[in-house]
Amino acid sequence: MGGSILPLAGEASWPPGQHSFDSRPLFPGVLPDWVNNHAAQAVISVAVVLLFWLWVARRQSVVPGKRQALGEMLYDLIRNGIARDIIGPEFRKYLPFLVALFSFIWVNNLFGQFFLFMFPTMSKIGYAWALAVLAWLVYNGAGIRKHGFFGYLKHTTLPAGVPKFLWWLIIPLEFLSNIIVRPLTLGLRLFANLFAGHLVIVVFVVGGTILLTSREPLAGFAVPLLTTAGVVSLVFSFAIFALELLIGAIQAYIFTVLTAQYVASAIAEDH
């Protein structure tokens, strides 16, 4: 799956296993190994996102057609449903970032359902970490810009109204929660959901194929029963694919919502 079904450095391509999640260098020995199929997916997704928004933005009219209506629906979802409602009056300066973030994650998640890729980019944890660090830089940078460096540290680690005798406990906990834990959970949530989904698909597809192609009893089960189980497994894998389409969109939405929430918390007057 994900282009990684192909043999890698002496590994057999069948059955799929741990190596199914490995990146495959595109030009081994010519370019560095980080120039691989998953890096190519990330680059392709940037082109897809740019082309999509340019496509839906051209030839705007008062009465929108289907293309413009599609673009406006997605844009309004992020602008009104996320940026404006969560961040508030200052949302416009963060809107382009949130639109790009949502679009990039969603397209990379969709790669798990396209036969040319069959691998969601965000199931490689490095990409999820990179987005989490980017979100961390944005919301902390917004807070520092609004309150100043030391003012932001006080704002983010010391909620208003906390008695002084509790400062020794609250300040480390708030620092750990807002500065350290937020990006960790942001990246892990995105990675774990996409990784788990791809793993389930691999299990059902591989298991179904093995059962369907069995020509002799396995573990005491007759061949007709194995064949039936293989068909059921493969059919069920299509349901998992459909579920992954929904999960990919939901995870892009959740990541964007949480990023907006962290920005709102960083620039708020009161913590």
Q: How many C-beta atoms surround the C-beta of residue 149 within 10 A? A: 11
Q: State the burial class of residue 214 (Cβ atoms within 10 Å of its Cβ: 0-12, 13-18, 19+).
A: middle
Mean per-residue pLDDT over the chain, rounded: 87
* H or E, element range at 179: none
Take residue 28 and report the two structure tokens written for it: 């081994």
Q: How far apart are CA 197 and CA 120, in angstroms?
A: 9
Residue with more model confidence, 174 or 223: 174
- Domain chopping of the chain, boundaries: 18-267
Q: What is the pLDDT of residues 192-226, one digit of tens each?
A: 999 988 888 888 888 888 888 777 776 677 778 88
* pTM, full prediction: 0.87
